[in-house]
Amino acid sequence: MTQGVINGKEVVVKIEEINALSGNTPTAQGSVYAWNQKGGTTASSTGNMTGVYDMVGGAWERTTGYIANGHEYLLKYAQSIAYDGDILKTNSTQYTTIYPYDADVDNERLGNDDTYLDTASHANYLKNTKIYGDAVREISSNGIGTTSWEGSYSVYTGLFGTCMYRGGSYCDAEVIGRFCFARATGNNNYDDGFRTIVIPIH
């Protein structure tokens, strides 16, 4: 048996119920999947129960990548990485990637709403012709949609979506992947997080 808590109530699911599942169909008690299903151990990095889980999904992971288009959200939500005092950083460093943007399209004077957001993201993606090694241009064919490897999100930064996020939320299902990327304002959200990476100094 496996145990868990759903909506404040303890839930017990028998192994027989789990083994009888097919196609990632959840039990009546909640989303419990058989070991050999996509939602089970085949979701691990090695495809079995000894692998690393949650390589994608769970939460969007913040990165230190953004476009320096001067939008007010950079100061409001990303000040710690995007500003040096009152000055917006416009050049990449060893810790931060400043992505290019198309000032003719990504411009608040032309509109700052969802109508122009996708247009700006696509134009900005086309401007990014020199940054490699971050799994953006290498694994996607467009700055809007699901054109990354395995049909994952490839939504480039634009307008008020100035910050680059990776990974994907637990609720994004089939459109998230290890290399997917998306734009975000940088504000707090229930499904946003970050992943710490430790790199040895040689």
pLDDT at 59 over 70: yes
pLDDT at 22 over 60: no
* Of the candidates 155, 158, 162, 156, the residue with the CA atom closest to the CA atom of residue 73: 162
pLDDT at 53 over 90: no
Sequence-separated (6 or more) residues with CB below 8 Å from residue 31: 39
Please tell me the distance from the alpha carbon of residue 164 to that of residue 186, in angstroms, as a whole number.
8
Please tell me the distance from the alpha carbon of residue 147 to that of residue 150, in angstroms, as a whole number.
8
What integer is the mean pLDDT of 86-99?
Answer: 94
Q: What contacts 24+ positions apart, CB below 8 Å, involve 104-111? A: 106/67, 106/69, 106/158, 106/159, 107/69, 108/71, 108/159
pLDDT at 201: 77
pTM, two decimals, is 0.71
Question: Mean pLDDT in the chain?
Answer: 79
pLDDT at 69 over 60: yes
